[in-house]
Amino acid sequence: MKNHGDEIREKERQWKDETVSRALKKYPYLKESPSRFFTPLDRGENYDFLEKVGFPGEYPFTAGTYPFDPTAGLSRLAAKVPAGSAHTRAALYSGYGAPEDTRDYYRNLIQKGGRQGPNLAMDLPTQCGYDSDNPLVEGEVGKVGVSIDTLRDLEIIYEPYQGDLNLDRIASNFTINAPAIYLMAMYAALAEKRNIPLNKLRATPQNDILKEYVARGTYIFPPDPAMRLFRDTLIFLNKQMPNVNITSIGGYHIREAGANRKQDLAYSMAIAIAYLREGVSAGLDIDEFAPRFTFNAFGGSMEFLQEIAFQRAARRMYARILKENFGAKDPRSMIIRQPITAHIGPSDTTIQRPLNNLTRAVIGAVAGALSGGTGAPFPPYDEPLGLGWSLEAQQLMQDAGRIITCEARLLDVEDPFAGSYCMEYLTNEIEGEALDELDKVQQMGGAVAAIESGYMQKQVAGSAYEHQKKVAAGDVQVVGVNCFTGENELEVETTRLVPHPYDPDKRSRAEQLQIASLKEVKQARDNREVKRLLMELEQKARKPDEALAPHLVACAKAYVSIQEVCDVFRDVFGEYDPPSIL
């Protein structure tokens, strides 16, 4: 074999000196070959298939989290299922206005045959721990998601979920981070009031607070106490709600905030490690809770081959961290569970000639299908045109995914690039870069320390700026934006005819309605009990080892509002003040 390697090396040198050089003479504007060719040498010394790749669904999971994708086999079956009744367990990310509006939206989905639990988008006041009646949040109630102030609001939203769609029969998703502990307490309270045992509940809270400091920004408290809330949530869910996922980690947000691939992977891993350590330091065995860590998604980009490599590297890196650093034995602790693999980022879409975004999304979806995921041509092409997607754009997105599965049959082979000289090289490359950056963060004291010092934030903002400068200079080409913009190009416009699924009248009335509802709740509840519960909460919050979640379930049942809880924490923990980025 060694002789063969030397032979290839010699042959490669000859190829460059003779064949490539000769070709370059014909193109005087090229100083070197604009493309690369990979050989067995690029896979690294002593490439060991079982060590580097292995079989799909087996350690180190490079080839895939699962042995196969069931949607590949279901494609014919799926085609027979009536529209609107997808077989995923949670609905699309949704929610708007007052709880009544979101309830009606879900009721309508159920009437059309939907069987999925809510996948709740919450408005920014809820995410930031403010009540709807706070003057600070005027104009934001019910925007970007539904408003949740008290348990009453969750009760309203879940009205359509009864009988065979009761809480023990559905799975819910909550995009909530800083006050996640209270949202989960509310969900527990809702279940207990319906006499449903907590261990029957299935849900996924996003509960990924650390990335909020790096991207997205819905933090409330400083990272340290935020991690205490994370630990409390982890312990509570682990013990009381063992079928509820603990976190859904999102490198996606960090990448969309400007991070490059290396930063996305390194920081996602650093954040996961910080969360895992909370469970370990609480005295839990890693295999008791790690299987319920999930990933929301990593980021994506238009760079097709590199994004496939990224997914392979991410799976291998996480598996090795769990096995080697945390001593996990259960393979379920070592896998990255995520709804999609490679994809493009919404920040890759352009407002110019927006139908091109469908082409872009399809390229991302093909990368997804070839990297152990379903082909998800996300986002819909009209993503940058305004808030909310048209139904046409969503239909085309779905169809593109179906075409990838049913016509192109891209899910028929697992990890088709396994063993490819190029792909193994790119996988090693991104893994190596991310490991170096992860080491750097760990030497600073881990994710929390790297966030407190502002390191991660500055790195990500710096990458965002570098990217923007490259776009401005034309070093990164974006079709229709910084190239191919001449007079002879046709600026293809699109119409968005189908009305938005959310009722605009309801949207405009939501804030007033919700403020009135909250007022009613605050009058009708036992306010002496509320005061007592809040005082007790403060005492418990001041003791770092006190478990807060059980008490918060009692608060939820007494209709204590989200701001009342968060204000106690604000008093005890303080509020986060971000370091300067300039």
Partner 1 sequence: MEKTIRVLVSKIGLDGHDRGAKVIAYGLRDAGFEVIFMGVRQTPERIVNTAVQEDVKVIGLSILSGAHIPLVKKLMEKLKLAGCEDVVVLVGGVIPESDKPALKEMGVSEVFTSGTHIHQVVDAIRRHVKV
Q: Does the footprint of partner 1 cover residue 351 (CB under 8 A)? A: yes
- The DSSP code sequence of 369-433 is HTTTS----PSPTTGGGSSS--HHHHHHHHHHHHIIIIIS-TTSSSSTTTT-HHHHHHHHHHHHH
Q: Does the footprint of partner 1 cover residue 495 (CB under 8 A)? A: no
Using the rule CB under 8 A, which residue among 352, 371, 427, 514 binds partner 1? Answer: 352
Q: Which is nearer to partner 1, 166 or 482 (CB)?
A: 482
Q: Which is nearer to partner 1, 419 or 480 (CB)?
A: 480
Cα–Cα distance between 455 and 215 in angstroms, integer?
13
Using the rule CB under 8 A, which residue among 385, 391, 403, 422 binds partner 1? Answer: 385
The span of 186-194, 201-209, 253-261, 432-440 binding partner 1 (CB under 8 A) equals 253-261
Instruction: Say if CB 576 and CB 220 are below 8 A apart.
Output: yes
Cα–Cα distance between 6 and 505 in angstroms, integer?
73
Instruction: Say if CB 252 and CB 310 are below 8 A apart.
Output: no
Tell me the backbone φ, ψ of residue 78, rounded to 5 degrees: -60, -35
Strands 293-297 and 247-250: parallel
Region of residue 390 (phi > 0: left; psi between -120 and 50: alpha; otherwise: beta)? beta
Q: Does the footprint of partner 1 cover residue 497 (CB under 8 A)? A: no
Q: Which is nearer to partner 1, 212 or 278 (CB)?
A: 212
Of residues 257, 255, 273, the one with CA closest to residue 265: 255
**Number of residues counted as binding partner 1 (CB under 8 A):** 41
Per-residue x/- mask for partner 1, residues 282 to 321, rule CB under 8 A? ----------------------------------------
Smallest distance, partner 1 to C-beta of residue 580, A:
7
User: 293: helix, coil or strand?
Assistant: strand
Q: Which residue in this structure is represented by tokens 């367990």?
A: 89
Q: Does the footprint of partner 1 cover residue 483 (CB under 8 A)? A: no
Q: Which is nearer to partner 1, 385 or 554 (CB)?
A: 385
**Interface positions, 111-170, toward partner 1 (CB under 8 A):** 124-125, 127-128, 130, 136-140, 143-144
Which uninterrupted H or E stretch holds 278? helix 261-281
Q: Which is nearer to partner 1, 129 or 373 (CB)?
A: 129
Instruction: Say if CB 349 and CB 383 are below 8 A apart.
Output: yes
Q: Which is nearer to partner 1, 65 or 514 (CB)?
A: 514
Using the rule CB under 8 A, which residue among 42, 153, 256, 414 binds partner 1? Answer: 256
Angle between helices 356-369 and 304-320 (to 10 degrees): 40
Smallest distance, partner 1 to C-beta of residue 351, A:
5
Using the rule CB under 8 A, which residue among 43, 52, 152, 216 binds partner 1? Answer: 216
Question: Tokens for 307?
Answer: 């994004």
Q: Which is nearer to partner 1, 83 or 473 (CB)?
A: 473
Cα–Cα distance between 148 and 137 in angstroms, integer?
13
Using the rule CB under 8 A, which residue among 468, 477, 512, 539 binds partner 1? Answer: 468
Which uninterrupted H or E stretch holds 565? helix 562-573
Smallest distance, partner 1 to C-beta of residue 544, A:
27
Q: Does the footprint of partner 1 cover residue 580 (CB under 8 A)? A: yes
Which uninterrupted H or E stretch holds 295? strand 293-297
**Interface positions, 61-120, toward partner 1 (CB under 8 A):** none
Rg (CA), the chain: 25
Q: Does the footprint of partner 1 cover residue 369 (CB under 8 A)? A: no
The span of 209-217, 224-232, 262-270, 439-447 binding partner 1 (CB under 8 A) equals 209-217
Q: Does the footprint of partner 1 cover residue 250 (CB under 8 A)? A: no
Helices (H) and strands (E) in the chain, counts: 24, 5
Which residues sit at the interface with partner 1, rule CB under 8 A? 124-125, 127-128, 130, 136-140, 143-144, 212, 215-219, 256-258, 347, 350-352, 384-387, 461, 464-465, 468-469, 471-472, 481, 578, 580-582
